Structure 1
Amino acid sequence: MSQDPPYDVIITILQLLTSTDENNFGSSAQTSDKFESTTPRDIFSAKKITDQQVNNTLEWMKFHISAINTESKLASISLLTNRKTELIQYLTKVIASPLTHLSQNSNQQEEIWSHASLIISSLSGRWAKPDFTRKITTIPNIKEIKLHEPSITEDNLGLKTWGASLTMSQRLSYRHKELLKEPVLELGAGTGLVGITIGLLGYQDVTLTDLPEIVGNMKANVELNDLSSCDCNEVIDSEKIYNGIKCGVLDWSKPEHFKGRPDAGYNTVILSDPIYSEKHPYWIQDVVKIMLSKSEDSRVLLQVPLRDRFGDIRQLLWNLLDEIGLTEVETTLDEGFDDFGEQKFIFKIYKWKRSL
């Protein structure tokens, strides 16, 4: 038998080393490849490894790596994802290998090199990470939320889940009766975490909005969590009653083009991590002025990370909200996490001044 591992063996190992899910953020972040309460067959199934691949791999291992001689020991390779340095060294060797014993099948060679490269990308920080599913399990009263996150660039930051949305979701989970008044509008909803949390808490008049390139993934995430969704403009246009989460395109620079607004406006407007440029405070002012109802009890909920370079822009936002007649009624400092480490956030509630 050849000393070189055949295609089935290499691809099986690479599949075992591939983490398709990730849980939470920061100190609670972890891959989903737990092994204590999962059978080997469950792991093989989750990694899309066939019975034939398992059998072929164990047969080869029996002659070359005798320590891996059972399905359980083979499945335990998935735990090596926690040993980042050694894993990258191994994957680099795979990519550097000419795989001459597979030279008769260039497709197999390319698949192995590509698969190894994708795993390295997933270990190289959020900006390099390919598509994956994040599971959020740290929101009180909600067992789990699944969020598909495509690979991101600086042009599609809304395809990533940001720590501010998790902190906002955690607050809403235990204060929602106090903080939420329907209808609810979320601006810049991104992957949909906050809106999905609100839906799972039982609210039915909820609208999530973002830019066109973001809304498709957001809507898919709503449905991934067993909540119904639809296009908010279609619901308004048809005047039909809809119980579920509405998703739609709302460009902050052109809020007047949004057709989904109820006649009286929204009683709760939510923004999580909304500031990335000097233009955003002005756009937010315009959107809130148009979308927020004039009810005395309507409110804006803001969760904003305290990034060092954005102090002046944050203050500009507070000033502009005051300028249109809103007043700050609560401010809280929170500590949390993002993919990039520990982060502090400020939470604010704004309501119309009584004179309005």
Structure 2
Amino acid sequence: MTIEESTDLLAAIRRRYLQLAPIRSYAHLLQMYLSSSSTPCADTFERVSLAQQFLMKAVIDASESMVNRPPRSYTSKFVKRIIEIIEELNRTATLGGESQDIAVEDALMERFCALTLSHEAANGNMDNEVDDRDVVRKYELPPDKSSNGPSYQTIALTEDFGMTRDGTTGLRSWTGGIALSEYLATWQRRSATLSAQPNVAGKSVLELGAGCGLLALTCAALGAKRVVATDTTRVVSRLRKNVEMNLESSLHNGGSKMPVTEVAILNWGEAIPPTLVGHNDAIDLILATDVIFDPTLISPLVVTLDSIIQCGAEAFIVSTVRNSATYERFLDGTRERGLIVEVVKEFSDWWKDRERKGHEGQWWYCEEGTSDLEMIRIGKDVSSLGTS
């Protein structure tokens, strides 16, 4: 493994750690880093020692100074996994005839003991990686390589680890939202061209079913002119707090001010407020993810999409196709209103390539078992597609 590959691998581990991804989902990255990390020394024992120090400094210590650091239970499980990997390396070395054990760094072991004792004193439960229902996940954006782009780099979101809460699924980030946010961030910040659609830079964007706000805040960080994050009454309180938290964080950290993200209640099927689609604040793009799952919501969703599209916008929707009948019902509903629908092959190709490349192609963690992910583009007519 080259030094550059080792650095990229450490960064991938850090991103998943801050995102509070299940540690099992990236334990293989820890294994790879500890056993193959490239450092300025050839000795195996010194190399693993340095790798532990890098993990402590770049991942654990760096996060400790952050506002809303990872839960101690999560950090404890993370450190424990590192120790288990080192123990496994020692067992492998013994079987191979090696006599010298690889030592766990004193600082790492001391941190593990302190975390374990403090957590047990607090609630006596070390079984779960995350005990609290509400936790703050951090999503690090790719570095902005342009000279005049925004310097805001991390989105922090209070999320719920449960599937549902208070009768809604909108209190956590789901696969489609994470995937589209990653798609936009990696293509617009890392690609030599801006061929990927939709291009949000300089556009007025409205998100339907914004949930915790990851996609809306990503669009703001990527230079959207205006971002309106909408959801139901039960969700907008959390959404608004997340938007405010990120605005305060960008100013506190000395970064450029994140463009203001508006938060509004929008119940599908009801009249669209004039302030959202008026001439002076016209919406260019509608974005939505993980919204096609409840058959009873299909009709009002189509009505809302049609109302905004008729004002000149076009829509991009990313969905995990869980139920083909529900998905087809949505497509039929849009076509019945005379709207043109096309699959965005570029996104499908990117998603498949991402899955194939493993951690090298995956910026953030997405839940496993979500191969059926598709983006569709909806407009008034053929001429409206391809202009964004």
Tell whether the structures are fold-level matches, with TM greater than 0.5: yes
Q: Secondary structure at the match of 1:349?
A: strand
Report the TM-score when normalising by structure 2: 0.57
Report the Cα offset of residue 134 of structure 1: 1.6
Which AA in structure 2 matches 1:170? E
Question: What CA distance in whole angstroms lies between the structure 1 residues aligned with 2:157 and 2:333?
Answer: 33
Superposition pairs for residues 207-246 of structure 1, below 5 Å? 207-226=228-247, 244-246=260-262
Report the Cα offset of residue 287 of structure 1: 0.8
Question: What CA distance in whole angstroms lies between the structure 1 residues aligned with 2:121 and 2:297?
Answer: 42
Which AA in structure 2 matches 1:163? T
Question: What CA distance in whole angstroms lies between the structure 1 residues aligned with 2:379 and 2:59?
Answer: 53
State the match for 1:132 in structure 2. 135
Aligned match of 2:319 in 299, 304, 309? 304
State the match for 2:198 in structure 1. 179
Question: What CA distance in whole angstroms lies between the structure 1 residues aligned with 2:232 and 2:160?
Answer: 15
| 2:343–2:374 CA contact under 8 A, matched in 1 | no
Q: Secondary structure at the match of 1:120?
A: coil
Report the Cα offset of residue 328 of structure 1: 2.0
Aligned match of 1:36 in 48, 56, 76? 56
| 1:20–1:133 CA contact under 8 A, matched in 2 | no
State the match for 2:159 in structure 1. 149
Q: Secondary structure at the match of 1:302?
A: strand
- 2:347 aligned with 1:347: no
RMSD over equivalenced CA pairs, Å = 4.3
Question: What CA distance in whole angstroms lies between the structure 1 residues aligned with 2:262 and 2:241?
Answer: 12
1:203-255 C-alpha deviation (Å, 9 max, x unpaired): 131100111221122222223333799xxxxxxxxxxxx962100111124x2
Which AA in structure 2 matches 1:282? S
1:247-290 C-alpha deviation (Å, 9 max, x unpaired): 0111124x216464232452211110102211122121111122
Q: Secondary structure at the match of 1:256?
A: coil
Higher helix share: 2
Which AA in structure 1 matches 2:160? P
Higher strand share: 1
Question: What CA distance in whole angstroms lies between the structure 2 residues aligned with 1:40 and 1:130?
Answer: 22
- 2:196 aligned with 1:160: no
Question: What CA distance in whole angstroms lies between the structure 2 residues aligned with 1:305 and 1:183?
Answer: 25
Question: What CA distance in whole angstroms lies between the structure 2 residues aligned with 1:44 and 1:243?
Answer: 27
Aligned match of 2:109 in 73, 89, 99? 73
Report the Cα offset of residue 344 of structure 1: 2.8
| 2:20–2:70 CA contact under 8 A, matched in 1 | no
Superposition pairs for residues 1-356 of structure 1, below 5 Å? 21-23=18-20, 27=25, 35-37=55-57, 73-77=109-113, 112=120, 115-117=123-125, 119-122=126-129, 130-137=133-140, 141=144, 143-152=153-162, 153-154=164-165, 155-173=167-185, 174=187, 178-180=197-199, 182-226=203-247, 244-253=260-269, 255-256=270-271, 258=273, 260-264=275-279, 265-295=282-312, 298-307=313-322, 310-332=323-345, 333=348, 334-335=351-352, 338-339=366-367, 341-354=369-382
- Range that drifts further, 158-167 or 35-44: 35-44
Report the Cα offset of residue 292 of structure 1: 2.6
1:341 and 1:320, CA in 2 relative to 1: closer, same or farther beyond 3 A?
A: same
Which of 1 and 2 has greater Rg? 1
- Number of residues of Structure 1 aligned to a counterpart in Structure 2: 270
| 2:213–2:243 CA contact under 8 A, matched in 1 | yes
1:122 and 1:39, CA in 2 relative to 1: closer, same or farther beyond 3 A?
A: closer
Q: % of aligned pairs identical?
A: 19
Question: What CA distance in whole angstroms lies between the structure 1 residues aligned with 2:115 and 2:295?
Answer: 45
Which AA in structure 2 matches 1:300? A
Report the TM-score when normalising by structure 1: 0.61
Question: What CA distance in whole angstroms lies between the structure 2 residues aligned with 1:291 and 1:131?
Answer: 34
| 1:185–1:206 CA contact under 8 A, matched in 2 | yes
Which AA in structure 1 matches 2:178? L
Q: Secondary structure at the match of 2:305?
A: helix
Question: What CA distance in whole angstroms lies between the structure 2 residues aligned with 1:227 and 1:291?
Answer: 31
Question: What CA distance in whole angstroms lies between the structure 1 residues aligned with 2:333 and 2:105?
Answer: 67
